[in-house]
Amino acid sequence: KAGVTQTPRYLIKTRGQQVTLSCSPISGHRSVSWYQQTPGQGLQFLFEYFSETQRNKGNFPGRFSGRQFSNSRSEMNVSTLELGDSALYLCASSLERLSEQFFGPGTRLTVL
């Protein structure tokens, strides 16, 4: 069974731009969570989607948003990029809510 896939793998943007990252969960998995990983703050939860609804949100500004489609694929969007948004953005999928989470390889975002 294929793992979690994330596209693109690498992205370079400039301040003020916006970006959309994509995540395809493991087949049959219905829950998708997003995390931000930085050297300074570590791994931090962004939000979780299940059945196309945001179920939980971490402590991030409104510039960070996401959505989930009927096939469980998810996208996250960051508007008005700041230098501090440079990070590895990880997507994790789980079969149901509260079950084991499996991570994708991440999208490395660099903001210049």
Task: State the Cα torsion 25-64-58-93 to the nearest 10°.
Answer: 0
Residue 13 CB, shortest distance to another protein, in Å, is 20
Number of Cα atoms under 13 Å in the Cβ half of residue 43? 8
Cβ proximity to another protein: between 17 and 38 the closer is: 38
Separation CA 62–CA 70 (nearest Å): 23
Cβ proximity to another protein: between 15 and 55 the closer is: 55
Residue the block writes with tokens 């959505």: 67
Separation CA 11–CA 111 (nearest Å): 8
Give the interface with another protein as residue ranges (CB under 8 A).
Answer: 4, 31, 33, 35, 42-45, 48, 50, 55-56, 58, 90, 92, 94, 97-98, 100-106
Q: What is the DSSP letter of 99?
A: S
Cβ proximity to another protein: between 31 and 72 the closer is: 31
Residue 5 CB, shortest distance to another protein, in Å, is 11
Residue 56 CB, shortest distance to another protein, in Å, is 5
Cβ proximity to another protein: between 49 and 111 the closer is: 49
